[in-house]
Structure 1
Amino acid sequence: MENTGKQWIAPVPDGKFFDLRQSLRLSEAYLVNKIKEIFLKRGILLFILGFLLGRAFILSELAPFSLPFLAAISVFQAARLPLVFIGVESGALSVSVIHAITLLGSIFFFFILKKMTRPLTKENILWTPGLVFVSLFAGKLIVDAVKNGGVLPFYFLMAAVEAGLGFVLTYIFLQAIPLFAAGRRRQPYKTEEIVCMIILFASMLTGMIDWKMDGLSVANIFARYLILIFSFTAGAAIGSTVGVVTGLIFGLADIGMFSEMSLLAFAGLLGGLLKDGKRFGVAAGLFIATMLIGVYRLDDHGLSVTLYESAAAIMLFFMTPKSFTAFLAKNIPGTPEHALEQQQYLRNMRDVTAKRVEQYSSIFLALAKSFGKQERNEERDEEVDYFLSNVTENSCQTCFKKEQCWVKDFHKTYGLMKTMMNELNEEKAVRKKIRREWDRHCIKSGKVLDLMQKELHFYQANQKLKKQVRETRKLVADQLYGVSKVMGNFALEIQKERENLDKQEEQIFDCLKNFGIDVGDVEIYSLEEGNVDIDITIPYCDGMGQNEKLIAPLLSDILGETIIVYSENCPHVRHEYCKATFRSAKAYVVETGVAHAAYDGGFLSGDSFSMIELGRGKLALAISDGMGNGEKAHRESRETLDLLKKILQSGIDEEVAIKSINSVLSLRTTDEIFATLDLAMIDLQDARAKFIKIGSSPSFIKRGDRVIKVQASNLPIGIVQDFEVDVVSEQLKAEDLLIMLTDGVLDDPQAAENGEAWLKRRLAEMETDDPQAVADLLLEDVIRQRSGKILDDMTIVVAKIKHNNPKWKSIPFHSYKTEKGA
């Protein structure tokens, strides 16, 4: 054989190669599918279960298993009922003829009773356990009465016990039988279903109690095999549970087997604890349990027998296909395989959702390109031809020189008419030189010019309408492109898989605990540098500020960056938990102050202002001035800012947002009411600011003794549909003051000094740098300068850029630092 370095490849006679591992996997898959087809699809497994349950007894006298199993089959797999009935009766017949006849009578009575009560129960499966109870109780009493010549109280009690056990077992089997459906199961097993399945298997094994093979108990071998399977796939908890349940049912079936419960339970616990050692570890758990329990309760002969039984179970366990144990593990909650299966399912759902969002994004992008297509030159030439054809239809068509002009001198005629059309359209008149040349060329020159001027009115109206359509198409294209970009970014965010940060959560939890802080829970959403996001719950803190004074400083040292309390939710009732969200501190913070006054001292101003947090460390300051005063102007400016806030928070670029707002407002109203917009977007990580001014007054930056003017020119929102947004960028610094204001502050027709020059001088003279004080002083000076009159709505917003200095320094805790992202 030839070693390729990764796997063994063997040559075959036809010159091709095949992978031995792949061949083995295919063989195993084929074998598993064949087993499924034989045992599940053809019902052989149900037949075997019925046969063994037909042999199963409790206390050597009670047989409550067969009828509940048959009743459950009649509910969920009625097509298999004849096969299961044969299996149950065959199992009962293998015990005794009397037992088979007794069971046949109970089955017959059950189905008669079920048919009689069908109008009342309406095929409700919840009635099935009751029918089983009545059938078992009546059948047991009748058989005892016939055998003993009457009904004694003891027989009445035993019939009630058997019927009660049948009632409970029916409920259990009704949950267990659907697990053996031939179709693929999509949902994982519930804990109740697993327990019911274990009870069904343990009940089945009681039908093997008296079977021996070379002196070894078949029931013991399969019981231990069952323990090995569940310990390996589900761990110590399920393994020990299977051991206890199986041992208990064995003990009820044969009082001499109660001691088997301790062996099975201990083997399930040890096997589950050693499952990290794969199959050898689980097998070692059973072997150790067998040795320890066997030494204390058995002699040398009994110990050797039980060791042989465990060895046989281990041999069956190693012969079990890996695909079977993997399938079982994937469907049992709490197992790593189940967690991986759930993660894969969520990952697939995430990928499908992201793909669908990407498809929507591509659709919007295609629509944007379609709407954004410019008019081709061919289309313009077609419009000119259409115009000239309308002119010549009433002039040249009836002229005797038509053939001379349009056949022999086509290019000259067409060129002159096109030149005259363009000059009339642009200059309102035809140049004398062109007019003289046209008079020499055409015998109806005057009539043609008159017709051309009349047709030009329709042509210009059509061109104006087309221009509006083009502007609207361009605006729609920009908006569609913005939506496409947002959806594309959203698809990328969906595809970003959340990191598994359980280890980091435990480390932070231990750090806080070791520091003496009682913590309820720690949930980490992100440990990305500059974007940390952690939720922590602590017991009722009674407003002591534990989050800000202790936890945030500790997290700052653990994570190696400044962490602050972003939000707190403290209950007013004791014995409840406080929840706090901790985020990365930004490099800069912004303090703001606002002063405003309405026209003529009124209560409702046409100006509106807003401060918008956009996430990712960005802050937007916006002022809108509705044209005019009063309620309409206030409504216009307020609506402008509300639209701006919603669009910006959706993630759309600010330039597209401005154009979208302009489109909405310009198309929405027929009144001549417009709004200005002054927008400043500040990045709190590097203090860089972008200014967008739509018909607004300039802003000013005070840096020490200097005052810097920030200006951009755009028409107010709502006037024209198509305009380019002028964006101005400025690098702000710590301790800078940003002053934004409406035109009512600067416009004063009676002032001797230019408004901007006065404002610069007044800002330079101010000694305070408190934002609110600066805003109040400026507004007060403006009103005083105008003799107490308020001639227009006025709004002043002042923002101060500061380094972010948390109130509390980090608390060193070096020995418990966590690795971010590890």
Structure 2
Amino acid sequence: MEKAERRVNNPFIGPVIQKMNSWFNKTTKSIIQRLYSLFLYKGLIYLVIGFLLGRAFILSEVIPFALPFFGVMLFIKKDKAFLACLALLAGALSISVQHSLFVLLALVSFAICSKMTSLIIKDGFKTLPVVIFLSMALARCAFVYAQYGKVTSYYYVMAFVEAGLAFILTLIFLQSLPIVTSKRAKQSLKIEEIICFMILIASVLTGLTGVSFQGLQAELILARYTVLVFAFIGGASIGCTVGVVTGLILSLANIGNLYQMSLLAFSGLLGGLLKEGKKVGAAVGLLIGSLLISLYGEGSAELIPTLYESLIAIGLFLLTPQSITKKVAKYIPGTIEHSQEQQQYARKIRDVTAQKVDQFSNIFYALSESFATFYHSVSNKESKEKEIDLLLSSVTEYSCQACYKKNKCWVENFDKTYEIMKQVMQETEEKNYYKNRKLKKEFQQHCSKSKQVEALIEDELSHFRANQTLKQKIHDSRRLVAEQLLGVSQVMADFSREIKREREQHFVQEEQVTEALQHFGIEIQQVEIYSLDQGNIDIEMSIPYCNGHGECEKLIAPMLSDILEEQIIVKAEQCAGHPNGYCHVAFGSAKSYRVKTGVAHAAKGGGLVSGDSYNMMELGLGKYAAAISDGMGNGARAHLESNETIKLLEKILQSGIDEKVAIKTINSILSLRTTDEIYSTLDLAILDLQNANCKFLKIGSTPSFIKRSEQIIKVQASNLPIGIITEFDVDVVSEQLKAGDILIMMSDGIFEGPRHVENYDLWMKRKLKSLKTENPQEIADLIMEEVIRTRSGRIDDDMTVLVIKIDHNTPKWASIPAPGLFRKNQEIS
């Protein structure tokens, strides 16, 4: 060993060996590529298949293989159909002249029947099996009549059997030949397609019947080689299936090969079971299986030929390059190569999708930037000066152009004229001009047409105000579009990142979880771990039907909680529809905190329609939101405004857009939707159920209070109500809540409702501190009752109070220890 290592590490021999290995690999790869091109692209494989199928027959006289092959080739590979025809005739001629004449007659009969059928039904592909059935039956009857001068009932039956086999083989070849002829195969093959492909291979091997050397039959050697390859690739099930199909076709061709079906099936089974021993293990399985069945089938007389045939097949198998077996394995379901190919294909689709989403995100971001830069391109001062100049130029156009003092005012005294007219315009705009006697007298002394100019300024200012309103609407619309496009861009960027997240491989953990649960007495069909991130556990399982005993929640989730050192709950469960089925269960991380809510709500005067609206909702990603909106005034219009605010907020937040962008968007929508002076307040609290951090966004709303034991914490912010101004910055207040905290949110009808109270803060804190209950609904009812009592039972305004209590999420079931297994925070050796 040391000498070998020294030879490899030798500065002269090592590079030579590496170059030889590289040259050998390149040469082998080049030869395989050339053979692949020669067989598939040049059409040599069709000649080989056609020649062997032309030789193939069943029971010495039934020839059902040739015509289905030519018919299918005519439709799926028309340019190679002539080569296939010549190969069929050559193969039939190698058996006998009579054999080739029948094949030729069948081909001619097919051409006539196909032409006649095409006159009635244009789609020849659908009628192909029927045309082949009729062609074979007619050809057989005509051939027998030409030989014997009559057709007996026996030959009629044989013609029907032969035509029926041709009909079935046509359907099989339609499934299997595209696997050979297509340049780009499908991602995976169905079991039915694999079986059809094996029937095609077995049919081709039937054409080797009679080819032997020293008593060793070529079709048996290649049949065992085929079974061995598929057993090594697909395992016991595929190997056994291929053995049965191949043995069945061979036994139909030669009744003496009937025992080959059991030999090949058993050999494929053993070879598949021993595939873990690599090629040697599969080869040993074939050898043992063939020898055992040979002893039981033909006795010791056939033992030596069987042994030689198996050894030759094993030799061919060992010489088969690994690249070929891996390439074939990609299309066989259940193999590792197939799984890797599917994952690679899914990863490619995922990357393409993520790239497209990123492109759309960039487009939306660019559009947002384009809209946003529009109203930032010119400074406010420059814009104001430009508007004044335009207004003054419009006024002077109708007043000063025909005035005899034009040169004196605008040439000799330009600055003075400009300044005085500018002052007149500004004072008129502020409606202070007629009160400013000094400015009015000065303007009358300066301008000979002062009355006309004053009237023109008032008229132009009215048009100016209308234009300014329109410009402001356009400005607000552009800003709204920019913010919405930016929000959509952010959502799409987040979505792209989610798409790019790849499932991590947790094979060791999956095996250990399965072992732990089975050791506990729970049968597990399948375990798939998608994520082990803190707070984001994602595990799926398939378990037998539990008849509603709740094993998932009572046993499996507590054991996973102990193994992963984190509370695990059942997120989704799909029960089996029958006792022999399997239930599919999804487990995930439980939220660290849970909330319990209460609400009290009343309309002004005890009416049915309130100007207050509220909502409490799950936002996903472990967040919980509560919101109160108070429309201006009372009644239906106020209810419409507040309800619209809440509905917009819910939809926008659930779409994933940031809460600040959401509130600015709602503000823009409500301010642009109507010209009336209607506004609404918004009190929003977003609670993170993993760390109990709470964000408060208060838009013109009253303060909220946090009751922490005997301590009362006031939460407030200074933001104008929604709809008053079109542009504002949202002030966000964050508070770290704790287990046991009680959050109280209220509208102004509650906060400012108590009568004869000067300091509402102190009154509310005192009432909250005096509460003896911690039930959220009871707290909401008591606060409402206290406020109404101070009003002598009258409800003078819409009232809403929301109460949320935060607690630790205590598991319903205690964790069950699973000793001797991994823990998530421990390294796995």
Q: TM-score range by the shorter chain?
A: 0.7 to 0.9
Deviations 1:497-516 (A, max 9, x none): 12345664554444334334
* TM-superposed deviation, 1:815: 3.5
Query: What is the DSSP-based 3-state SS (H/G/I as helix, E as strand, rest coil) of the residue aligned with 2:733?
Result: strand
Residues 141-181 of structure 1: CA distance to partner in whole angstroms, max 9, x if unpaired? 45445555655554444444333333322222232222232
- Determine the structure 2 residue equivalent to 1:728: 733
1:790 is matched with which residue?
795
Letter matched to residue 88 of structure 1: L
Q: 1:200 to 1:565 in 2, by over 3 A?
A: closer
Query: For residues 448 and 543 of structure 2, what CA distance do their matches in structure 1 show?
Result: 97
1:784 is displaced (CA, Å) by: 1.6
1:15 aligned partner: none
Cα 1:515–1:59, aligned 2, differ >3 Å: closer, same or farther? same
Q: Using the alignment, how far apart are the partners of 1:138 and 1:569 within structure 2?
A: 57
Aligned match of 1:714: 719
Contact 2:242-2:265 within 8 A present in 1 as well: yes
Quick check: 1:342 aligned with 2:342?
A: yes
SS in 2 for 1:372: helix
Q: Provide the residue aligned with 2:378 in structure 1.
A: 376
Greater alpha carbon shift after TM alignment, 334-343 vs 529-538: 529-538
What is aligned with 1:136? 136
Do the aligned partners of 2:399 and 2:449 also contact (CA within 8 Å) in 1? no
Distance 1:471 1:62, change over 3 A: closer
Once the two structures are overlaid, the 10-residue window that deviates more, 686-695 or 109-118, is: 109-118
Which residue of 1 is the match for residue 494 of structure 2? 489
What is the letter of the counterpart of residue 193 of structure 2?
Answer: E
1:614 matched residue in structure 2: 619
Aligned with residue 804 of structure 1, among 809, 813, 819: 809
Q: Is residue 2:660 matched to residue 1:655?
A: yes
**1:233-632 aligned within 5 A:** 233-289=233-289, 305-373=305-373, 374-377=376-379, 382-383=386-387, 385-387=389-391, 389-390=393-394, 393=397, 458-459=463-464, 462-501=467-506, 504-505=509-510, 507-517=512-522, 524-535=529-540, 546-566=551-571, 581-632=586-637
Q: Which residue of 1 aligns with 2:776?
A: 771
Query: How many residues align structurally?
Result: 815
> What does the per-residue CA deviation read over 1:123-145, in whole Å, with 9 as the maximum and x for residues that have no partner?
44454334434443444445445
Please tell me whether the aligned partners of residues 684 and 698 of structure 2 are also in contact (alpha carbons under 8 angstroms): yes
8 A Cα contact 2:571 2:586, kept in partner: yes
Aligned residue type for 2:709? G
1:743 offset after TM fit, Å? 1.0
- Where in structure 2 are the equivalents of 1:179-258 lying within 5 Å? 179-213=179-213, 216-258=216-258
**1:331/1:407 CA distance change after superposition, 3 Å:** farther
Q: Does 1:761 align with 2:763?
A: no
Residue pair 1:590, 1:802 contacting (<8 A) in 2 also: yes
Q: Distance in 2 between matches of 1:223 and 1:478?
A: 69
**Contact 2:754–2:790 (8 Å) recurs in 1:** no
Aligned-residue CA RMSD (Å): 4.2
Q: 2:558 is matched by which residue type in structure 1? A: P
Q: How far apart, CA to CA, are the structure 2 residues paired with 1:459 and 1:53?
A: 92
Q: Tell me how far 1:27 sits from its aligned partner.
A: 4.9
SS in 2 for 1:735: coil
Name the counterpart of 2:3.
none
Contact 1:475 1:722 in 2 (8 A): no
**Pair 1:287–1:538, CA change in 2 (3 A):** closer
Distance 1:560 1:127 in 2: 65
Please give the per-residue CA displacement for 1:243-272, whole angstroms capped at 9, x wherever unaligned: 222222222222333344344334433443
Contact 1:507 1:818 in 2 (8 A): no
3-state SS, counterpart of residue 64 of structure 2: coil
Q: Secondary structure at the match of 1:117?
A: helix
Structure 1: distance between partners of 2:98 and 2:580: 65
Cα 1:349–1:182 change in 2 (3 A) is closer
Query: What pairs with 1:658-677 in structure 2 (closer than 5 Å)?
Result: 658-677=663-682
Q: Check 1:249–1:557 CA distance in 2 against 1; reply closer, same or farther (3 A cut).
A: same
Structure 1 stretch 752-761 or stretch 189-198: which is displaced more?
A: 752-761
Which one-letter code corresponds to 2:769 in the other structure?
A
Q: What SS does structure 2 have at the residue aligned with 1:596?
A: strand
Tell me the equivalent position of 1:162: 162
Deviation readout 1:726-749 (Å, 9 max, x if unpaired): 211122222222111111113348
* Cα distance in 1 between the residues matched to 2:288 and 2:162: 38
What residue identity is the alignment partner of 2:604?
Y
1:155/1:632 CA distance change after superposition, 3 Å: same
Using the alignment, how far apart are the partners of 2:422 and 2:24 within structure 1?
83
Counterpart code for 1:771: P
For residues 411-454 of structure 1, what are the alpha-carbon distances to aligned partners after superposition, in whole Å with 9 as ceiling and x for unaligned? 9998998798778878967999x989x99x99989799857776
Supply the AA of the counterpart residue of 1:206.
Answer: T
Tell me which amino acid in the other structure corresponds to 1:376.
Answer: V
Corresponding residue SS for 1:678: strand
Distance 1:559 1:298, change over 3 A: same
Counterpart position of 1:682:
687
- Gap runs ≥5 in structure 1: 12-17
In 2, the alpha carbon distance for the partners of 1:104 and 1:522 equals 59
Match of 2:65 in 1: 65
Letter in 1 for 2:766: R
More displaced stretch, 418-427 vs 804-813: 418-427
Q: Report if aligned partners of 2:229, 2:317 keep a CA contact under 8 Å in 1.
A: yes
Q: Which moved more, 1:353-362 or 1:237-246?
A: 237-246
Give 1:320 shift: 4.3
- Seen in structure 2, the aligned counterparts of structure 1 residues 566 and 457 have a Cα distance that, compared at 3 Å, is same
**1:369 touches 1:477 (CA, 8 Å); kept in 2?**
yes
Closer, same or farther in 2 for the Cα pair 1:397/1:717, shift >3 Å?
A: same
Distance in 2 between residues matched to 1:95 and 1:299, nearest whole Å:
31
Retained in 2: the 8 A contact 1:28–1:321? no
Name 1:701's counterpart in structure 2: 706
Give how far 1:64 is off: 2.2
CA distance in 1, matches of 2:19, 2:393: 77
Aligned counterparts of 1:577 and 1:405: Cα–Cα separation in 2: 97
Distance change (3 Å), C-alpha of 1:713 and 1:21? farther
Match of 1:602, as an amino acid?
Answer: G
Seen in structure 2, the aligned counterparts of structure 1 residues 430 and 217 have a Cα distance that, compared at 3 Å, is farther
Partner of 2:43: 43
* Alignment correspondent of 2:751: 746
Contact 1:395 1:447 in 2 (8 A): no
Counterpart residue type for residue 596 of structure 1: H
Equivalent in the alignment of 1:14: none
Q: Distance in 2 between matches of 1:349 and 1:747?
A: 58
Q: CA deviation at 1:648?
A: 1.0
Q: Is the 8 A contact 1:508 1:818 kept in 2?
A: no
Map Cα deviations across residues 748-804 of structure 1 (whole Å, 9 max, x no partner): 484244333222211122222221111111111211221111111111111122222
Does the C-alpha gap of structure 1 residues 673 and 391 become closer, same or farther in structure 2, counting only changes over 3 Å?
Answer: closer
| Bigger mean CA offset, 59-68 vs 156-165 | 156-165
Gaps (5+ residues) in structure 2?
1-6
- Is 2:565–2:824's contact at 8 Å kept on the other side of the alignment? no
Contact 1:2 1:10 (8 Å CA) reproduced = no
Q: Which moved more, 1:728-737 or 1:217-226?
A: 217-226
Residues 632 and 9 of structure 1: CA distance in aligned 2, closer, same or farther (over 3 Å) = farther
SS at match of 1:208: coil
* Match of residue 4 from structure 2: none
% of aligned pairs identical? 51
